[in-house]
Chain A
Amino acid sequence: MEKVINIQPLTRIEGHAKIAIHLDDDGNVNDAFLHIMSLRGFEKFIEGRPAEEVPRIVNRICGICPWMHHLSSNKAVEGCFDVTPTPTGHKLREMCQIMAHINDKILHFFFLAAPDFVLGPDSDYSVRNVVGIVKEAPELANQVVKMRQLGQMMLENFAGKAIHPIAGVVGGFAKPMSEDERQGLLRDTRTLLDFALFSMDYAKTSVFPKYTDIIASLGTITTGFLGTVDELGSLRLYDGHLRLMKADGSMTDFPVSQYDQYLSEHVESWTYGKLPYAKCWNEGFSMDLDAPKGVYRANTLARINVCDQISTPHAQAELEEFREKFGRPAQGTLLYHWARLIELVYSCERTIELLEQDDITGTDIRAKAEPKAGRGIGHVEAPRGTLIHDYTTDDNGCIVKANMIVGTTHNIAPMNMSVKEAATSLIKDGIYDEGLLNKIEMAVRAYDP
C-alpha cells in the first residue's frame, strides 16, 4: 500500500501550500508534489473597476510585496490610458519599490529562512523559529527587528502606507518628497546599507560555510532563468526588458509587451497554482528531473544569473565573488539565499543613488490622465520573480479583461522539481524523521514562495 507523508501547512513561507510525498511498499519515494491550496482570482473581480482604482486593489494580492503589485498595476493602467509618468514621479516610484525589496529580503532571510541555518535544520520545531533566534542570538535578533522596522517605517512615513500602498497613482505619485524627508531617508538608507553589508558578511562567514554540502545539493535541479536587465545587461528591479536564459547559458531578450509570445502557463489538476513555462523554446512542458522541458526559474538566483553586471559597486563585487565560486548560471537551489543578500546590498545602494538625484524632490510628480479604451502591460521584478500585469479597458477607462503572471508562479514547476529531488535523495527505505522533512521544506523555502 502506498503511504503519503503530508507536510501541511508549509510554514515560514507566504501563502498556503502543502507537500505530499508518496512512498512505495519499500518506503522509497514514488512521487512528490507541492500543492498550492488557495486561489482568490483577482483577474476576475477587478473587471468593471475604474482602472485607476486597480493599483490600490491588486496590492492585496500579497501583503509582503504589495508595492510590486501596486506599481506593476500603475504601469499597466498608464499603458491603457496612454500616459507617461513625470520623471520625478517615476523616480519616487522606483525608490519605494526598491526600498520595499530591502524590507522583504531582511524579512525572508532573517525571520523565515535563518532559523534553519542559525538553529540547524534538525533542531526541534518549537525553537526553530524567529522566537528561538531571539533566545539563541538576542543581539542579532534585536538588530534584525530594528532594521526591518526602520525600513517599514521609512516607507510608512513617506508614502502613508508600507503595507497596501496608495501613493503610486496613474501618471506618477501622489505627494512630493521634501528636502527634510530626503535627508532623513538618506541617513536611514545608509544605516540599512551598513546592515546589508554586515548581513552579507555574516552569512558568508558564519552561515553558508556550515552548510556547504546542502547548498551544493539540496533540491538542486537544472533549469533556465528569467529576469530583467537594462540595455547594458545590468540588473534592474523596477524597469528594463526581460531576459530568458537557457540552462546552457544562451539568452533571449524581449520587451515585456511581448510576454505572451514567449511564456505560457500549464495547469495540473492537483494544484491551484499555474505552472508557467518558456513557450518560445518550442519543447513543450515537462517536470521530468532528468529532462525538464520549458522550465525556467525566477526570483533572486535567476536575476543574479541573467544579468551581465550590477551597476552599484558593493553589489558588483559580491556578484563577481559569487560567479567565481558558482559559475553562470548557478543552479544550486539554496544559492537563492546568497543571491538574495546580493540583491539586498544592491537595493540599499540603488535607493541611495536615487535619493542623491536632485530632481527626486521635484514637485512635478503626476502627469494628467484621461480614462479611455486601451491595453497596457506593466511589469516589475518582485522579490519572488518577474511580475506582469496586463489590462484592457473600455471607453470609460474601466477594466474589461485582465491577465497577471505573479512572481511566485514562475517557480511552481521548479519548486515541485526541487521537492521531488530532495525527497527522493533523502528518504530511503522508509527512514525519515522530522529534521529530514524540514530539509525537504527548506528546498521550497529557498524560493521564498
Chain B
Amino acid sequence: MGVRVAEEWLHSCSGCEIAILNTGEALLDLLAQIDFVHIPVLIDHKYYGQLGDGKELEIPEAEVGIVSGGVANEEHMEVLLEMRKKCKILIALGTCATHGGLPSLMNSWGMEEGMKDYYSTPTTDPCEVPTQVVPKPLDRVYALDEKVEIDMILPGCPPNPTLIAEVLTALLEGRDPAIPTKAVCDTCPTRREGKGNVNNVRRFLQNAKYDPDQPIDEMRCLLEQGLMCMGPVTAAGCASGRGAPSCISARVPCRGCFGPVRREGNQMLDMMNALASNGIDFKSVVDRRSLLRFSGSHGLLRKLPPRKTTEE
C-alpha cells in the first residue's frame, strides 16, 4: 500500500490535472508509491456509491488531498468540505484554488449577473437561468482558504509539473518541499539596463524587440522596453526546471498567473507601485482591474457600481 491520495477539481478547467500528467516519467515513479483513491479525471470512484444509490456525498480517506479550482457553487462547497474532512494534508493546487484564478474576474459582477448574461446571448433561445438539479451558485468565486483550512499551496496557471513532482516527492520523503519564494523577475534572465526613458507602458500589439538568433539573456527586460510585464509582482515558479519564465521564453510579457509574491499580496496595487517607482505613469495601463485577473478572490475584485464601466 502506498500513500493514499485524493484529488478533486472545482471551479476549474482541468489544466492542473493535465499539469499533473505532465510530470511525465516522474509520474510513473510516483504511481509506484502512491495510491489514488479518488480522482475523477482518471478513476471511476463515485460520490454516491458505485451503484448510485447512496444518500451522502462520500470521498475515501486519504493522507494527501489535492484540490484545484476555486469555490463558486454549492456542490463545490460540499466536495471541498468532504475533502477537508477526509484528507490529513490538504493542498490547494493552481491559482484558482489559491487565489480564485481567472474565473474570479466574475467577482466584478457576481455569479448571478454573469449567469444571466450567459443565458441571454444572441444565439440563445429566450429562457430562464437553469435551476433544477444543477448546483446553486454562490455570490462570487472564492479561493479555497476562504472556506476551509489549507495546509499547503502550489499556485500557477497551470502549476509547474516540476514543482508538483517536488511537492509529492517531499511529502513521501517527509520533508518540506523546496518551492521558490521570490518574484518572476528574480528568475528572469533578460538584460536589465536600469531606468530608461519609458514613461508609459504600451499594449502588447507588436512583438518585443529582440534578435531571434540570440538567447533570452540577450533580450532587454520587457518592462524596460515599455511593455506591461507583471514579473515584479508575481510569484516565481514557472521557470523551475526550464531556465526562464515560460512566457518570457516565448518572448511574451508575464501576466501574473502564479499570483502575488507574498501569499496575501495585491498584484494590482503592487504593480502600480512598481510602475511608479520606475517613473512610469500607471494611468497608461488600460484596464487596471485585470492586473487582478489571477487573484481576484479574497475580496480584491468587488462588484462594479451599477453603471457599466470598465475602469474604476
Contact = CB atoms under 8 A, between A and B. Distances in A.
Interface of A: 5-16, 20-21, 33, 35-41, 43-50, 52-53, 56-57, 60-64, 66, 107, 111-112, 125-126, 128-131, 134, 142, 145-146, 148-149, 152-153, 156, 159-164, 166-167, 169-171, 174-176, 178, 259-260, 263-272, 274, 276, 363, 365-366, 368-371, 396-398, 403, 405, 432-434, 437-438, 441
Interface of B: 9, 11-19, 21-22, 24-25, 27-28, 31, 36, 40-48, 50-53, 72-73, 75, 101-103, 105-106, 108-109, 111, 113-115, 117-119, 121-125, 127-128, 130-135, 137, 157-158, 203-208, 212-213, 242, 246-252, 255, 257, 286-287, 289-290, 293, 309-310
A125 B50 contact: yes
A253 B11 CA distance: 37
A14 B212 contact: no
B135 A37 contact: yes
Contact of A11 (B13, B41, B113): B41
Contact of A161 (B118, B246, B287, B289): B246
B290 A371 contact: no
B169 to A, nearest CB: 18
Contact of B46 (A8, A112, A148, A433): A8
Contacts of B248: 160
Contacts of A403: 121-123
Given A6-B52, A49-B287, A265-B124, A160 B16 contact: no
Contact of B125 (A11, A60, A265): A265
A252 B19 CA distance: 40
A363 B210 CA distance: 12
Contact of B43 (A129, A142, A265, A272): A129
B204 to A, nearest CB: 6
A164 B158 contact: yes
A145 B127 contact: no
B157 A164 contact: yes
B159 to A, nearest CB: 9
B258 to A, nearest CB: 12
A39 B40 contact: no
Contacts of A53: 204, 255, 287, 290
Given A149-B25, A162-B22, A169 B51 contact: no
A107 B106 CA distance: 31
A384 to B, nearest CB: 12
A263 B53 CA distance: 38
Nearest to B257: A164
8 contacts: A53-B287, A153-B24, A174-B208, A175-B207, A265-B124, A269-B132, A270-B132, A437-B52
B308 to A, nearest CB: 8
A107 B125 CA distance: 35
B157 A368 contact: no
A160 B119 contact: no
Contacts of A268: 130
B40 A11 contact: yes
A370 B206 CA distance: 9
Given A41-B115, A45-B106, A260-B123, 11 more contacts: A12-B41, A16-B75, A37-B134, A44-B113, A60-B15, A125-B50, A160-B246, A169-B207, A265-B124, A368-B206, A398-B286
A174 B52 contact: no
B193 to A, nearest CB: 22
Contacts of A62: 13-15
A163 B121 CA distance: 28
A398 B287 CA distance: 9
A56 B290 CA distance: 12
B46 to A, nearest CB: 6
Nearest to B117: A44
A271 B13 CA distance: 18
Contacts of B157: 60, 164
A9 B22 contact: no
Contacts of A61: 13
A368 B13 contact: no
B124 A6 contact: no
A11 B109 CA distance: 32
B287 A40 contact: no
Given A270-B130, A270-B133, A15 B14 contact: yes
Contact of B44 (A129, A276, A365, A432): A129
Contact of B134 (A35, A166, A264): A35
A267 B203 contact: no
A12 B9 CA distance: 13
Can you list the 3 inter-chain pairs with the closest CB atoms, starting with the nearest? A63-B15, A160-B250, A48-B310
B52 A145 contact: no
Given A11-B40, A178-B213, A39 B118 contact: yes
| Best-surrounded residue of B121, B123, B124 (most CB of chain A within 10 A) | B123
A72 B52 CA distance: 39
Nearest to B45: A125
Given A35-B134, A43-B117, A14 B44 contact: no
A341 to B, nearest CB: 20
B105 A45 contact: yes
A160 B22 contact: no
A370 B31 contact: no
B293 A57 contact: yes
Contacts of A398: 286-287, 310
A208 B165 CA distance: 36
B205 A37 contact: no
Given A63-B15, A169-B252, A266-B125, A145 B28 contact: yes
A296 to B, nearest CB: 15
Contacts of B127: 267
A180 B27 CA distance: 29
B257 to A, nearest CB: 7
A269 B255 contact: no
Nearest to B121: A403
Contacts of A39: 115, 118, 137
A158 B17 CA distance: 22
Given A52-B204, A370-B205, A263 B123 contact: yes
A441 B208 CA distance: 48
| Best-surrounded residue of B31, B51, B133 (most CB of chain A within 10 A) | B133
Contacts of A274: 119, 124
